[in-house]
Structure 1
Amino acid sequence: MAKTVAKTSGRAAPKRAGAPAEPGFIPTIGRIPIVDVFPQVSGGRWPAKAFAGEVIPFGATVFREGHDAVGARLELVDPAGATSSHGLRMIGTGIDRFQTLAHVPTQGAWRFRIRAFSDDYATWEHNASIKVPAGIDVELTFAIVSKLFLVAGADAERPAEERALLDDLALFVADEAIPAADRLEQATSPAVQHAVENRPIASLDTFSDWHELKVERERAGYGAWYEFFPRSVGAVQKADGTFTSGTFRTAARRLPAVAAMGFDVLYLPPIHPIGKAFRKGPNNSLTVEPGDPGSPWAIGGAAGGHDAVHPDLGTVAQFTIFRAAAEKLGLEIALDFALQASPDHPWVKEHPEWFTTLPDGSIAYAENPPKKYQDIYPINFDNDPAGIRAEALRILRFWIAAGVRIFRVDNPHTKPLDFWEWIIATVNAEHPDVIFLAEAFTRPALMQTLAKVGFQQSYTYFTWRNSKEELEEFLDSLAHETAAFFRPNLFVNTPDILHAYLQFGGRPAYKIRAAIAATASPTWGVYSGYELIENVARPGSEENIDNEKYEYRPRDFEAATAAGTSIAPYITLLNKARSEHPALHQLRNLDIHASDDDSVLVYSKYIAGEFTETGQPDGLIVVANVDPWSVRETTVRLDVTKFGLEPGAQFRVTDAITGASWLWGADNYVRLNAFTEPVHILSVHYSPRRTC
């Protein structure tokens, strides 16, 4: 029901101080104000997002008039309707911000709200700690707490042993024959503190609105991706220089190696027929030679469109065999979903209204100045929106029926957002486990709103964040500013993107970027060839020369590994660390630390034992020399409370890459040689005697 406010001439009616509210007035603030509830997305316009197994910070700003203490608790309802209650603690000083962490283990629709209250016991404890030692109003002070204990002892929801304790204390503190110091000690004992922490002695209960939390399956927020072109895997060069395409059968031979590196998702560029009209040659040139395969993103030809498989690769049935082989190895297939067409696509003849016709009668092709894609026609979503929606949904349902549950969406920022909101909601209503990754290197507002309207993951600006300062700002924002709706997939490279950092940083740069991507985000990705340090760019561009989008690129991975030039073993160690450390499965637990060097980045990740399967805490410290051309020596300065230790603690750390171990504290000397091991990934050893 809408809230109404009595108005006069468009403004709220003036009232005298203390005057009763006018009839029809509904206050928007509770007795104990609760504001800025989190997690929230755009004021509740869209549900906040999480994934199964994620640890989420919940909280709000809670305060009241005067000096009495307030408290807050989280009420969290799981998809089955079970409610759990979690105490919130104040964070910071003087900002009235309360927060707690809660684990959401199951997929589905969760709800939460914040309960605020006057913390009557905490108010008494504060006053008593001042008054009783000073001899001020001693018996009145004890009379107040005696009454509080009597009320709490009568609470039927409280455990019986706590009720008995509080009933006894109600009499004890009222006995004037007992020294005041003894009564104060018993009234503030650890047993009492435990009782009131679990179930506060409170009044003036106030509740926030209920808020939604959409919890998706684990792979929506955690996983390691690998990309390869099936046509290149197993491609054979003939005597005339042309190639025989690889097939799903030959591509399947690469699956064990990808799985052995520890990847969870295999992403395939479009596997559909490719048009011949305006087909591009090597490096996006207009010169096409016999045997040039064309871009997989120029979808559609005589063999069909988006619901067909390129004849060189095989058939839909052979794709399903390939998918099943991948799944046996623990690899889930992600398929490209590119809503565009080659001039030969059946849509062009059957539905010319789905494209933009120029004044000269030609159909507009795709452009991203200065790049031109004459072989691709973009879709015009405004001419026949209902028809386009129906066809897009049909295509997705087709591939979902073939066993695909992850779609990497090409250039979603060039399509209307209301289309994405509708189609993702429609698909997820039928198949809640389907995941959409937005390949959207675009403006922040557009990129972030794509996530808000439904995309489970997104590419990011990671490629262009390379200095310590850039990375600190970028990673902190991902972990703490946009995590309620935006899940970053930190791909280290793509067929289109080869940043100067990789072009000129060589092997050290490749290791640095992989280590940061694999540890900073729960989801990261690698495009095939990265492990071989393919770092030669087409002159004047950020693209690999001889871009695989336009030609076959068979690679000899085994020879590179045997020669020691591949960093596949390093990538394997990174993914092994990810699988062994639950702290690396989380996004919101990243904390930035300091170093005395402008090129040494430091951050930690930590998860408390109450959220792990083993019951043991897990903490890691990443120290990265982001200058790939140097040796750096510096002091790393840690806030050890960020990973569950007490200030001043000493602790042992072990490097996940080298196995070396050191005794560390708050300030630590490090030396990082970019040419050998430029990054420490340090697991923290927790003493079994220490409470973390």
Structure 2
Amino acid sequence: MTTNLGTSAASMQKPKGRIFDGLRFGRFPIAAVQPVVEGGKFPAKALPGEGIVVGATVFREGHDRLGVTAVLLDPAGQERQRVRLAPPRGERGMGTDRWEGTLTPSGTGNWSFLIEAWHDRYGTWHHNAEVKVAAGIDVELMLAEGAALLHEAAGDDSRSEWDRGVLREAADKLADPSLSTEERLGAGFSHAVTGVVAHQPIRDLVTVSEQYPLLVERDLAGRGAWYEFFPRSEGAVKDHTTGAWTSGNFRTAAKRLDAVAAMGFDVIYMPPIHPIGVQHRKGPNNTLIAGPNDPGSPWAIGAKEGGHDAIHPDLGTFEDFDAFVARAKELGLEVALDLALQAAPDHPWVESHPEWFTTRVDGSIAYAENPPKKYQDIYPLNFDNDPEGLSEEILRIVLLWVSHGVKIFRVDNPHTKPVWFWEWLIGQVNTKAPGVVFLAEAFTRPAMMHALGRAGFQQSYTYFTWRNTKKELEAYFTEVSHDSPAYFRPNFFVNTPDILTEYLQYGGPPAFKIRAVLAATASPLWGVYAGYELYEHVARPGAEEYIDNEKFEYKARDWEAAAASGRTLAPYLTRLNEIRHSHPALQDLQNLTVHESTDEATVVFSKHKTLADGTKDTIIVVVNVDPHGTRESSVSLDLAALELDPEDLLHNGGFRVDDLISGESWEWGEYNYVRLDAHIEPAHILSVRRSHP
């Protein structure tokens, strides 16, 4: 039957009459719809071609069969996809009245979806006829009801002529007393009939949920490999006689872009490129006194040369910046710029707008603190004194950089600003310049991180950096792929200038491989900070950050010497990005399934995706997360999650997997033995070979 997609449950299939006005339930209750963020107040996040898990709790009175469908609507309100939902596999689907399926939007924009619940007339008849005829109860009545049902469906003009013919023929046989009961019932149960009904069910009492928003954003909002470097270090030269440095600049940094692109990265991210404050400038390793050759932290923004709308003179001019962006684009890279909303003591705002800061009772402006850490070179902004003026100024600055080709911003410490501001700013920017992406650098409490996602941040840094054990990784991978993807997209950075975990400090080269494999395959978004490929791992004593931190000084790396000596992880990172680009399953977030292994340090998970042409892409990742030794394990696969039929495997003797790292191939099945030596190769990335969709 034809359904009015714009009609809500409040007005469809309810009892007629004045006394029933105001009822909240439709004919069939539809509850707990997902993905829905705060009742639809914020849109759920999606990407073109991404499999979005939709679901609802739907039930009915009695024992008749129920059907549940999800309908995807494009930005113009036109139906683009209709998917029959089913109970989830395993315990989640047992007796819970939960129904789930996958919708796949094809383009960007403000899409939406809804849930339909309906009386499944054919399913109800099929079940009743199967049980009663076998028991010899109401045999002729069951056959007659089936004939009447299929005759009625055959008269539906919305069906194809072939489908109508199939239904008509089956109805005639059901009603033919010259045939045996088995022949008549077999006609109604035939594969041809069930196929026609599966394609277009015989529905009644259709109840429609509210329509829920789905914001579909461009690929780089939720997919991509990030590489971070400091442009001042790329091409920097030190005079070993005087100790003075000549800074790198956009022209010298552009020469490094070829190598970054060759490794398969999609985004080149740079820390702030603005003038750096002189007052209270920090020296090496965050010391309080800077020498004449110390460049200061790029996050201490602002000096006499200008503020957030200016470029540090050492880096070049706007013309140089534009040339850098253009070169990145030629190489298939997009430039991400740091948006750090804070000021050095000599930022122009301190004089022109002191109300944008917090003034203490002694008349001084409060500097940033995260006790026991103190950042005397940085003044935080205060959004309470002049929220409109400050907000408009920041919007102006963001749009200025957008006009110079920047469509991605990595936002420093967004959790130290009001959430309302981000909702306003991101909304304004995306209205004026659609497609601009914001990454939240918010290592803070989950409630704030999730609120920033709801407010509009397309992606966020995560706790992945500190999840190292099998138990921690399995729990976190499940959380970010199944519990929060509607509003929180995880970017798995393996390191940052601020973060060098103990795992990397003491795990040696195997630890660097392990973390890269996990990040590159578990999330569609991942990133590295320059030096990772050189296994840089020496920490500042007492801190989880690098010694001689690049935040406070130049760092000249000899990339050519590293490549010549073979002591570089660059080829490995390149291979990981090649695998990501070649396998669509790795470009989705919600399709991750954790599998069982008997070893406490062997993590197993898969990504599975059915493509538009019906082919299936299946990746199984097995990682030894112990960087110090060899682990052996038995791996048990959830075959349903991989869409592998146990009966087929039984007859065919298993299935073939190709290791995308080593190039080896093996026969696998439901249960498999693995042995991974962290010092040789800590991971398998296995592609399941299929002979047909």
TM-score (norm 2): 0.95
Counterpart Cα distance in 2 of 1:146 and 1:35: 35
**Do the aligned residues in 1 keep the contact of 2:170 with 2:193 (CA within 8 Å)?**
no
Q: Secondary structure at the match of 2:127?
A: helix
Counterpart Cα distance in 2 of 1:177 and 1:24: 49
Q: Secondary structure at the match of 1:133?
A: helix
Partner of 1:636: 635
Q: Secondary structure at the match of 1:642?
A: coil
Partner of 1:70: 66
Counterpart Cα distance in 1 of 2:534 and 2:451: 36
Counterpart Cα distance in 2 of 1:182 and 1:93: 34
Counterpart Cα distance in 1 of 2:268 and 2:42: 30
Counterpart Cα distance in 2 of 1:202 and 1:313: 67
Q: Tell whether 2:84 aligns with 1:87.
A: yes
Matches within 5 A, 1:604-615: 604-610=606-612, 615=614
Partner of 1:310: 312
Equivalent of 2:508, from 506, 519, 527?
A: 506
Partner of 2:598: 596
- TM-superposition CA deviations, 1:415-466 (whole Å, max 9, x none): 0000000110111111221000000000000001100110000000011100
Counterpart Cα distance in 1 of 2:190 and 2:287: 79
Q: Secondary structure at the match of 1:601?
A: strand
Q: Tell whether 2:173 aligns with 1:177.
A: no
How far does residue 633 in structure 1 lie from its aligned partner after superposition?
1.0
How far does residue 168 in structure 1 lie from its aligned partner after superposition?
3.0
- TM-superposition CA deviations, 1:97-124 (whole Å, max 9, x none): 2222122120001111111101011011
Counterpart Cα distance in 1 of 2:430 and 2:237: 41
Partner of 1:234: 235
Partner of 1:472: 474
Matches within 5 A, 1:93-108: 93-108=94-109
Q: Which amino acid aligns with 2:283?
A: G
Q: Secondary structure at the match of 1:30?
A: coil
Q: Which amino acid aligns with 1:652?
A: R
Equivalent of 1:447, from 442, 446, 449?
A: 449
How far does residue 222 in structure 1 lie from its aligned partner after superposition?
0.5
How far does residue 22 in structure 1 lie from its aligned partner after superposition?
6.8
Higher alpha-carbon deviation: 46-55 or 334-343:
46-55
Q: Secondary structure at the match of 1:35?
A: strand
Matches within 5 A, 1:201-280: 201-238=202-239, 239-280=241-282
How far does residue 616 in structure 1 lie from its aligned partner after superposition?
2.5
Partner of 2:329: 327
Q: Secondary structure at the match of 1:396?
A: helix
Q: Secondary structure at the match of 1:357?
A: coil
**Do the aligned residues in 2 keep the contact of 1:652 with 1:684 (CA within 8 Å)?**
yes
Q: Secondary structure at the match of 2:87?
A: strand
**Do the aligned residues in 2 keep the contact of 1:53 with 1:218 (CA within 8 Å)?**
no
> Unpaired runs of 5+ in structure 2?
1-7
**Do the aligned residues in 1 keep the contact of 2:627 with 2:678 (CA within 8 Å)?**
yes
Q: Secondary structure at the match of 1:437?
A: strand
Counterpart Cα distance in 1 of 2:508 and 2:372: 28
- TM-superposition CA deviations, 1:354-400 (whole Å, max 9, x none): 00001111000011122111000000000000001110100011001
How far does residue 287 in structure 1 lie from its aligned partner after superposition?
1.7
How far does residue 52 in structure 1 lie from its aligned partner after superposition?
1.6
Matches within 5 A, 1:70-219: 70-83=66-79, 84-91=81-88, 92-219=93-220
**Do the aligned residues in 1 keep the contact of 2:231 with 2:253 (CA within 8 Å)?**
yes
Matches within 5 A, 1:21-40: 23=19, 25-40=21-36
**Do the aligned residues in 2 keep the contact of 1:608 with 1:644 (CA within 8 Å)?**
no
How far does residue 21 in structure 1 lie from its aligned partner after superposition?
7.9
How far does residue 483 in structure 1 lie from its aligned partner after superposition?
0.8
How far does residue 20 in structure 1 lie from its aligned partner after superposition?
9.6
Counterpart Cα distance in 1 of 2:639 and 2:141: 43
Matches within 5 A, 1:206-605: 206-238=207-239, 239-605=241-607
Q: Tell whether 2:622 aligns with 1:618.
A: no
Q: Tell whether 2:38 aligns with 1:42.
A: yes
**Do the aligned residues in 2 keep the contact of 1:275 with 1:299 (CA within 8 Å)?**
yes
Q: Tell whether 2:660 aligns with 1:663.
A: no
Higher alpha-carbon deviation: 73-82 or 578-587:
73-82
How far does residue 414 in structure 1 lie from its aligned partner after superposition?
0.2
Q: Secondary structure at the match of 2:507?
A: helix
**Do the aligned residues in 1 keep the contact of 2:224 with 2:526 (CA within 8 Å)?**
yes
Counterpart Cα distance in 1 of 2:31 and 2:195: 28
The number of residues matched between the two structures is: 671
How far does residue 252 in structure 1 lie from its aligned partner after superposition?
0.6
**Do the aligned residues in 2 keep the contact of 1:69 with 1:123 (CA within 8 Å)?**
yes
**Do the aligned residues in 1 keep the contact of 2:339 with 2:409 (CA within 8 Å)?**
yes
Identity, % of aligned positions: 57
Q: Which amino acid aligns with 1:96?
A: D
**Do the aligned residues in 1 keep the contact of 2:45 with 2:214 (CA within 8 Å)?**
yes
Q: Which amino acid aligns with 1:304?
A: G
Q: Which amino acid aligns with 1:669?
A: Y
Q: Which amino acid aligns with 2:233?
A: S
Counterpart Cα distance in 2 of 1:165 and 1:501: 64
Counterpart Cα distance in 2 of 1:62 and 1:71: 9
Counterpart Cα distance in 2 of 1:102 and 1:400: 32
Q: Which amino acid aligns with 1:72?
A: V
Counterpart Cα distance in 1 of 2:34 and 2:144: 39
> Unpaired runs of 5+ in structure 1?
6-18
**Do the aligned residues in 2 keep the contact of 1:62 with 1:116 (CA within 8 Å)?**
yes
- TM-superposition CA deviations, 1:519-555 (whole Å, max 9, x none): 0000000000011111000000001001100000010
Q: Secondary structure at the match of 1:561?
A: helix
How far does residue 133 in structure 1 lie from its aligned partner after superposition?
2.3
How far does residue 24 in structure 1 lie from its aligned partner after superposition?
7.8
Partner of 1:55: 51
**Do the aligned residues in 2 keep the contact of 1:87 with 1:198 (CA within 8 Å)?**
no
**Do the aligned residues in 2 keep the contact of 1:132 with 1:181 (CA within 8 Å)?**
no
- TM-superposition CA deviations, 1:236-282 (whole Å, max 9, x none): 00121121100100001100000000000000000000010000000
**Do the aligned residues in 1 keep the contact of 2:266 with 2:332 (CA within 8 Å)?**
yes
Counterpart Cα distance in 2 of 1:616 and 1:242: 59
Matches within 5 A, 1:638-653: 638-647=637-646, 649=649, 650-653=654-657
Q: Secondary structure at the match of 1:90?
A: coil
Q: Secondary structure at the match of 1:643?
A: coil
Counterpart Cα distance in 2 of 1:603 and 1:679: 12
Q: Secondary structure at the match of 1:224?
A: strand
Counterpart Cα distance in 2 of 1:160 and 1:267: 57
Q: Which amino acid aligns with 1:258?
A: V
Q: Secondary structure at the match of 1:89?
A: coil
Higher alpha-carbon deviation: 331-340 or 152-161:
152-161
Counterpart Cα distance in 2 of 1:617 and 1:22: 53
Q: Secondary structure at the match of 1:257?
A: helix
Equivalent of 2:689, from 666, 670, 685?
A: 685
Counterpart Cα distance in 2 of 1:372 and 1:301: 20
Change (3 A) 1:542 1:621: same
Partner of 2:5: none
Higher alpha-carbon deviation: 191-200 or 460-469:
191-200
Change (3 A) 1:609 1:54: closer
**Do the aligned residues in 2 keep the contact of 1:222 with 1:522 (CA within 8 Å)?**
yes
- TM-superposition CA deviations, 1:308-348 (whole Å, max 9, x none): 00000001121011000011000000000011000111100
Counterpart Cα distance in 2 of 1:283 and 1:31: 67
Counterpart Cα distance in 2 of 1:197 and 1:89: 12
Counterpart Cα distance in 1 of 2:548 and 2:174: 84
Counterpart Cα distance in 2 of 1:178 and 1:192: 18
